[in-house]
Amino acid sequence: MLVLLAAILLIVVLIVKVRVHAFLALMGACFVVGVGSGMPLTQIVASFEKGVGGTLGFLAAIIGLGSILGKMLEESGGAERIAQTLLDSLGRQRASWVMMLVGFIAGIPVFFEVGFVLLIPLIYVVARETRLNMLYLGVPLATSLMAVHCMLPPHPAAMAITGMLGADVGKVILYGLIVGLPTAVVAGPLWIKLACRSEAPSTQAAFLEERCEARASRELPGFGVTLFTILLPLLLMVGKTVALMGLRPGSGAFELVAFLGNPLTALSLAVLFAYWSLGLRRGLAMADLLKLTEKCFPPLASILLIIGAGGAFNGILIDSGIGKTLADSLAQLNMNPILLAWLVAGLMHFAVGSATVAMISAAGMVLPLLGAHPEYSPEIIVIAIGAGAIGWTHVTDSAFWVVKEYLGVSLADALKKFTAGTVLASLTALALTLLLSRLV
């Protein structure tokens, strides 16, 4: 246990104080665990290789396909279309609710930072036209994006811990929607109505004059086809989970549904459909789609390396025997595994400032405990980890600075409105997860 504690402290110190990349920090922690637990040096390397390969073998293609889907949504103006349609339907007076819904829908295929930067011009326009406080619009968008980012596959961290814990992807998506949407409502429009005045401060007009640029009008894709493109992989994966309950294993229908609902197949079909619906149908050539696709992959290198090293850390915990020791020690605490998973993920996010690192690390520490608590499904534990990782998005997290700088608010306001909102989101998601665990 002391070896594990030393490894966790090493991760925190290297990332926060020394400013070492999370991949290298996790890699160093792997060797600390291996050497400290007495593993032969060659076995440490073998466990590291097996952990990286086992994790990325499942995830690499899925993350790549999800990135393509997000890029198509970004470049086509699909997110802008969804936002404009919802604003026209619900009215500008309900703009905080609209931004929460836009974040929840558009955030499914895109990373947090990409989604926020993609939609911030729309917040500027709405804020200038309605004279609403940008915090009143931006916090619901940000908390919604964060909830989806942490709890809903095909986001990389959520997908990674789904595989690590052996959970069913369709059930994780279904549970993530059940928990995530109310969480986004409570920590978004409801929270900001209490925490922030809707009227714009006197300094906002000058800020918007600097930031608002005249955007050339462009033809946007239709609302219906855009929404269907985003939701297609979720529909296929959740549909598989539901359909297999009524089909006979081994039958032709069973095999077909299982194939179509596999995350790799579902995302491949969604990308092909997006190439047509958001690309070819709107006049793009295959050469244009190739350029868009090539833009997707360079930013993925960092996240793939972090997830791979996280998988290696998990593998070495198991192979070294520390995983069993950890499970025995945690079992003596007699703590609800859902609460434990939430707490570990929250503490790691608070310390290292990365929801991805927090979720991967928490999964590795909680995994050995699942065997002693078969009454808790791995899908519920995945949601609990995601719920913990939402909270405490503060100065150690790049997402915090993205929100602060693009909204042009003070550090104190960002902490009071956005960070506090993520803490509320985490607590709300925990309560909903505990309730859901009693019903499923």
Lowest-confidence range among 166-175, 233-242, 330-339, 360-369?
Answer: 330-339
pLDDT, position 401: 86
What is the band of 172 on the pLDDT scale with cuts at 50, 70, 90?
very high
Contact yes or no for 396/351 (Cβ under 8 A): yes
pLDDT, position 329: 72
pLDDT, position 111: 81
| CA pair distance 23, 15, nearest whole angstrom | 9
Contact yes or no for 119/74 (Cβ under 8 A): no
pLDDT digits (tens, 9 = 90+) for 21-71: 888 988 998 999 899 989 998 999 999 999 888 888 878 888 889 889 888
Lowest-confidence range among 100-109, 218-227, 336-345, 362-371?
Answer: 362-371
Long-range CB contacts (within 8 A, 24+) of 66-69: 66/109, 66/154, 66/155, 66/156, 66/267, 67/296, 67/297, 67/299, 67/300, 68/271, 68/274, 68/292, 68/293, 68/296, 69/109, 69/229, 69/230, 69/233, 69/267, 69/270, 69/271, 69/274
pLDDT digits (tens, 9 = 90+) for 83-100: 888 888 888 778 899 999
| CA pair distance 360, 357, nearest whole angstrom | 5
pLDDT, position 14: 87
Which of 386, 371, 390, 383 has its CA nearest to residue 440?
A: 383
pLDDT, position 437: 94
Terminal CA-CA length for the chain: 33
User: Is 90 exceeded by the pLDDT of residue 338?
Assistant: yes
Contact yes or no for 384/430 (Cβ under 8 A): yes
> Any idea how long the chain is?
440
Tokens of 31: 């060797």
User: Is 70 exceeded by the pLDDT of residue 213?
Assistant: no
State mean pLDDT over 215-219.
65
| Percentage of residues in the chain having pLDDT higher than 90 | 35
Tokens of 283: 């006049």
pLDDT digits (tens, 9 = 90+) for 370-427: 777 788 899 999 999 999 999 988 877 888 888 988 888 888 888 899 999 999 999 9
What is the band of 327 on the pLDDT scale with cuts at 50, 70, 90?
low
pLDDT, position 405: 86
Which of 126, 367, 338, 379 has its CA nearest to residue 241?
A: 379
pLDDT, position 334: 76
- Residue 259's identity, in one-letter code, is F
pLDDT digits (tens, 9 = 90+) for 343-359: 989 988 887 778 888 89
Report pTM: 0.84
pLDDT, position 158: 92
Beta-bridge partners for 298 = none
For the chain, what is the mean pLDDT? 87
